[in-house]
A and B are shown apart, each in its own frame.
Chain A
């Protein structure tokens, strides 16, 4: 079934007609090789080519954070990165958080804390939080706020998100101590 139109986005990738570039990268632990259009964004590549629809597009200009992914350990906005720039990169999207069909602690805590309503910004928030905790497992409130400064949420008012991050810190620490 061709589901390329099922999850259409705000913007559509238009083929440039320029010669394609072969791209090798690792997405959520899996090696991926594809020929891509040089003008395709990494966001469009993840959604259109790999059918990873968790990563969202909202502003498309790096302002809102809905398209945040982790690229080589850093949280970045995939809407303003070219797919071809990701050659050799290690990428984690929101689909990479759950393991063996079980949600990660981070995802469970977001649900418990009611850190989402419409949920459109959530994959971006999750990825920014994951990148933060990977670098700094015990962040201060200020460090959390700073790390999430590029993610906008119009529903929650941010406090439940802050609480979700803090309870994730607690649970992940206990998990490590076990």
Chain B
């Protein structure tokens, strides 16, 4: 390793955020699957590494009736994949988690890390966005809550300020009959980010929620499109229409994984396939 840093593993949240505020060149370590690459390639100037895995607040992983699901910042992706309650209550999140990276990486990578890294192509945000996830952020002034759709500010950028730490992400409980699915187009399963990823959800009242990644500088919730679908009412015709309309709501770029044109087309296909699957019809 070329990077030179000290290692600090605090046991107290207040001590942690104070340290993060005091030391400018400090970086948070949880799973390390993104951070270690940056350190190894010397892409960040880290003087202090703060390992948050000993903080009790980050270990939380529980579902409470009425309150929903809390996923602490130390909870690794494979725990979400293995969770029965996630399979039943949040299927799109289970599917997204199971599609993320490789098995070994999922044993280290954390759900919250996938959010904080803020990659445009991150696999978990579409499902988390569709479930109205809220990010719990600790700072020296206390805890603030930010809806996930307001959390990302750009490529690899978030609302997090110096001295702040994401403690957990929270998902409200879906009602009876809630349905969701995550579909992802990728070049290589297990070894690549999504070319496009779409989480589609139909709530018990028939309203849809759509989260998408790799088609904009940040993962996005497509609120405007949802409103238009909900106004028309969910039907065979609406889905066919929405599959075209989605192209007006996303702005993909061409890169090593795909051309912009292919992404537009795949976003359309994945939305259509997802919604048809949820209403029980083949496309």
Could you tell me which A residues sit within 8 Å of B by CB distance? Answer: 11, 13-14, 16-19, 21, 38-41, 44, 60-63, 65, 68, 74-77, 79-82, 84-85, 87, 128, 146-151
Contact = CB atoms under 8 A, between A and B. Distances in A.
Contacts of A77: 104-105, 108
12 contacts: A11-B1, A16-B3, A16-B4, A39-B1, A62-B105, A76-B107, A79-B36, A80-B37, A81-B32, A147-B103, A150-B104, A151-B104
A40 B1 contact: yes
B7 A84 contact: yes
Nearest to B107: A74
Contact residues on B (Cβ < 8 Å of other chain), bracket: 20 to 34
A75 B104 contact: yes
Nearest to B4: A16
A14 B2 contact: yes
A65 B104 contact: yes
A149 B103 contact: yes
B5 A38 contact: yes
Interface in B1-35: 1-7, 9, 29, 32-33
Nearest to A21: B7
Given A38-B49, A75-B107, A128-B104, A13 B32 contact: no
Interface string B36-53: 110110000000010101
B190 interface: yes
A116 B283 CA distance: 43
A136 to B, nearest CB: 11
Given A14-B2, A148-B103, A149-B103, 20 more contacts: A16-B3, A18-B5, A18-B7, A21-B7, A38-B5, A38-B6, A38-B7, A39-B1, A41-B1, A61-B36, A68-B104, A76-B107, A80-B36, A81-B32, A81-B108, A82-B7, A84-B7, A85-B29, A85-B53, A147-B103
Contacts of B103: 75, 128, 146-150
Nearest to B81: A146
Contact of A76 (B37, B104, B190): B104
B144 interface: no
Nearest to B6: A18
A69 to B, nearest CB: 10
A128 B33 CA distance: 18
Interface centre among A44, A60, A149 (most CB of B within 10 A): A149
7 smallest beta-carbon distances between A and B, as pairs: A150-B102, A16-B4, A38-B7, A149-B190, A80-B36, A150-B104, A74-B107
B51 A85 contact: yes
A55 B65 CA distance: 45
